[in-house]
Amino acid sequence: MKIRSAQVALLPMFAIVATVYVGSILWTIGISLTPSRSLPIYEFVGLEQYVALFRSSRWTTSLVNMLVFGAGYIGGCLALGYLMAIFIDQKVRAENALRTIFLYPHAMSFIVTGLVWQWIMSPTEGIQDFVRGLGLTGFTFDWIVRPDMAMYAVIIAGIWHGAGFVMALLLAGLRGVDTEIWKAARIDAVPAWRMYLHVVTPILVPVFVTCAVLLSTHAIKSYDIVVAMTKGGPGIATEVPAKFVMDYLFERSSVGRAAAAATVMLMMVMAVAAPVLYARAAAAKG
Amino acid sequence: MRFRATLPLLGLLAGVAPALAQEAEVIHWWTSEGESKAARVLADAFEASGGTWVDNAIAGASAARQASFTRIVAGDPPEASQFNSGREFEDLAAQGLLTDISAVAQEGNWDQTVPQALLASAQIDGKVFAMPMNIHGRNWIWFNAKLLEEVGAEVPAGWGEDMFVALDKLKSAGKVPLALSGTPSYELSLFESILLDIGGANLWYGLYQHQAPEAFASAELRQAFETYARLRDYVDVGSPGRTWNAATNMVITGEAGFTSLGDWAKAEFAAAGQTAGVDYGCILPDGVLQIGGDVFVFPKLSDDDAIKAQQLLIETLADNTTLRNFNAAKGSIPPRADVDMTGTDVCAEKGSAALQISDTNVPRLTMLQPSSVAGEIQDLISQFWNDPSLDIETAIARYTEIVLNG
C-alpha cells in the first residue's frame, strides 16, 4: 500500500514532466520540420530548415564558438578554481574572508558579469585607457573589439564568474581527503606539489567531473553573458547557439529555423550526456 | 501590465457611465519618454471621441510583437497592435486573423496620399491590413558643421570621393572621422546608405524586390562593398557595441565629424540645444530616402461591442489631426501627404520632399524581404565589416545566395 500511495503522489510530477518537458521537446522537433515563420504552420517540409541552418555561416560560427567557449571556460574554471582551493587549503589566515571573496562573483548574474567586463575591456574606457593614461601609451588590450580575440574576452569573464564556484566544491573535496594520507606523505618526505599532483588529484576526479558537468550546462546555454558583453559581435565573432535560437524565435520571426537550431543543440547535449549516463549505469551495475 | 489592471478600474471609479463603454486595448512599444507622450496623443483623441483606451505598453519591440502574436493566436486579441511597417504581420493576415481596412484606406485616398512603398507593405493581395502611423527616414548622414569648417572640409554630397576628402581632413586633425554605432543593425544601415547612394532606387528594387541576377552582378553593388570596406579605416576603436545615441553624441560634442543614422538622431541634436543647418547638418545621399515606420493592425474580433470599439479606434487613428499631433510629438514624418508639414526644420523638409515622388523613396529591407532573410543579410554585412579577411568576391557571392534562396 505504501508503494502505491507514493506512486500516486508522484503522478502529478510525472504528468508535468511528460507534458511540459517531453511534450515541448517533441513539439519543437515537429515544428523544426515545418516551414513555420512567425506562426506555427503544420506542413511537412522535411529537413529544409536544417539545410538552411547549416548553410548559415552564423550558425556554424555559433557552434564553433560554443565549443571554444566550453573548452576555455570549463578548463579555465577547473584550473584556476583548483589553484585557489589548494591555496586556501594551506591553512591561510582569514580563510573565511578569502573564500567569500573568491565565491562572490558566482553570486552575480551573467548579465552583470558581462556588463562589468565589457566596461573593463572596452579599449576606450577600460584597462587599455587606464594604463595608457598612466603613461604607457603603447599598451594595447583590445580583445573585445577584435573578431579573432573577442571570444577569449568572453571566456575570461566566464572564468572570473565560475572559478570561485569550482574552488568551493574542490575545497570541500580537499578537506575530505583523509589526513592519514598527508601524515604518511610527510613521513616519506614527499613534496607537497607531488602529493597534489599524484595523490590528491586522482582522489578528487569525481568532484572534477561534477564541476565539469555543471559548468558545461552554463557553456551550452550561454546567452546572457554574450548579450551583455558583445551582443554577438564584433560582426558575428561571438555568436552562440542559444542566441541564434532566441534571435530567430523573436527578432526574426522564424519559429521553424529556431526549432531546428534548438533540436541540434538538444542532440549535442545528448551526444555528450549519453556516454556519461551509460558509463555511470554500467559502473552502478558493477 | 500595470496599466491594464488600473485603467479599467479607473473607468469603474468614473461612474461606469455608458453601459457599453467603447473599450479598446492597444498593444504598443512606445515606452520612452517622448514616445509615451506620442501614444498619449492617440489615447486622448480616442477618449475625446467617446472610447476608453486600455493602454498595454510593452517595453521592447520584439517583446511587444511576441505578446501580440501570442494573444492573437490564442484567440484573445487586443483591439489594436503595433507593428513595424513590413512583413511582420503577413502571416497573421494570411491566416485571416486581421481586419481588412481597405474601406478606410479608400475613403482616405491612401493610394494618392500614402507613399507607394509604404502602402504596398501594408497590403496583402490588394487588401489593406495595416494603418501607417508615421515615417522614419533611415539613411541620413549627420555632421558637425562647426567641426567641418574648423578642419577646412567641404560638406560632401554623399559617400563619393568628396566624402573621403573630408574624412581624411578630419583624420589628420586628430578627430574621429566617422562615429559608428558598431552593432549589426547600424553596420547594415551604413551599408544600405552607401548602396542607395551608388545604386539609387533602381538597384535597391532590383536586389530586394525583383531579385534580378543583373543587379547582383552589377558594378554598383561591387562599388558599394568597396566604399563600405574603405570606411573601416575611418572609425575609432571604440566603435564595436557603441549605442546609436552615443555615436550621435560624438558628433554633437565635436569629437567626431560624421555619423550615419536615421532621423531619430535629430531628437538627440535637439535635446543638446543644436539647430539644424547651423550647428549640425544632414545629408541625404543621392536624395533617396529609405523609409520605415510604425503601423497598427486590427485583429479580427468576435464580440459585437468590441468590434464597435475597434471601428471607433480605426476612425480616430485615421484622422488627419490625430496623425499630425502624434507625429509632432514623436518627431517623425506623417505617412500621408495631405497632413500639413509646415514649420519644421531643414532636414525634415528635405525628407518630406523626398517622399513626394516615388523615385526618391524606397521601403526598408524588412518591408521587401522576410525578417529571416533580412537578418541573414545583416549577419553577413556585419561580418564583412568586422572581418577584413572576408574578401568582396566571397561577400557578394554569399549576399546573392542569401537573397536568392530566401
What pLDDT digit, counting tens, does each position of B163-195 carry? Answer: 999 999 999 999 999 999 998 999 999 999 999
Query: Are the beta carbons of A56 and B92 separated by less than 8 Å?
Result: no
Q: Of the candidates B1, B43, B29, B35, which has an alpha carbon nearest to the alpha carbon of residue B313? A: B43
- How many helices, marked H, and strands, marked E, lie in chain B? 20, 14
Give the mutation candidate from B97, B371, B373 for the A interface (greatest A CB count, under 10 A): B371
- Confidence tier at B143 by pLDDT (50, 70, 90): very high
CA distance B35 to chain A (A): 21
Residue pLDDT, tens place only, B120-132: 889 988 899 999 9
* For residues B277-293, average pLDDT: 91
Q: What are phi and psi of A266, to 5 degrees?
A: -60, -45
pLDDT at B402: 92
B215 vs B18, residue with greater confidence: B215
Does domain A51-285 fall under CATH 3.40.50.11540? My reply is no
Query: Are the beta carbons of A233 and B382 separated by less than 8 Å?
Result: yes
CB atoms within 10 A of CB A192: 13
Query: Is residue A130 a contact partner of residue A243, using CB atoms and an 8 Å limit?
Result: no
Residue pLDDT, tens place only, A122-153: 888 889 989 998 988 888 888 998 989 999 99
DSSP B268-330: HHHHTT--BTTTEEEE-GGGPEEEE-EEEE-B----HHHHHHHHHHHHHHH-HHHHHHHHHHH
A194 vs A272, residue with greater confidence: A194
Residue A237 touches chain B, beta carbons under 8 Å: yes
Dist. CA B232–CA B188, nearest whole Å: 13
pLDDT at B353: 82
pLDDT at B190: 97
The ipTM is 0.79
Contacts B184 to A, Cβ<8 Å: 231-233, 235-236
- Return the minimum-mean-pLDDT range out of A221-225, B8-12, B321-325: B8-12
pLDDT at A282: 83
What cell was used for B65?
Answer: 510583437
Residue A75 touches chain B, beta carbons under 8 Å: no
CA distance A9 to chain B (A): 32
What residue of A is the nearest CA neighbor of B402? A56
CA-based angle B30:B32:B36, to the nearest 5?
Answer: 55
CA distance B387 to chain A (A): 7
Please state whether beta strands B176-179 and B256-261 pair in parallel, antiparallel, or not at all (unpaired). parallel
Q: Of the candidates B66, B34, B381, which has an alpha carbon nearest to the alpha carbon of residue B227? A: B381
- Confidence tier at A8 by pLDDT (50, 70, 90): confident
- Confidence tier at B16 by pLDDT (50, 70, 90): very low
For the domain B2-136+292-355, what is the CATH superfamily, name and number?
Periplasmic binding protein-like II (3.40.190.10)
The domain spans of chain B are 2-136+292-355, 137-291+360-405
What residue of A is the nearest CA neighbor of B61? A251
Contacts A114 to B, Cβ<8 Å: none
pLDDT at A45: 92
Rg (CA), chain B: 22
Percent of chain B with pLDDT over 70: 93
DSSP B38-103: HHHHHHHHHHHTTEEEEEEE-SSHHHHHHHHHHHHHTT---SEEEEESSSTTHHHHHTT-B---HH
Which helix (H) or strand (E) segment is B25 a member of? Answer: strand B22-28
The domain spans of chain A are 51-285
Query: Are the beta carbons of B385 and A235 separated by less than 8 Å?
Result: yes
Dist. CA B195–CA A146, nearest whole Å: 26
Average pLDDT over all residues of chain B? 88
CATH topology of domain B137-291+360-405: D-Maltodextrin-Binding Protein; domain 2 (3.40.190)
Query: Are the beta carbons of A257 and B382 separated by less than 8 Å?
Result: no
- Confidence tier at B2 by pLDDT (50, 70, 90): very low
Query: Are the beta carbons of B382 and A123 separated by less than 8 Å?
Result: no
CA-based angle B355:B356:B359, to the nearest 5?
Answer: 75
Residues linked to residue B363 through DSSP beta bridges, in sequence order:
B291
pLDDT at B11: 43
Query: Are the beta carbons of B405 and A56 separated by less than 8 Å?
Result: no
Percent of chain A with pLDDT over 90: 52
What cell was used for B51?
Answer: 472610447
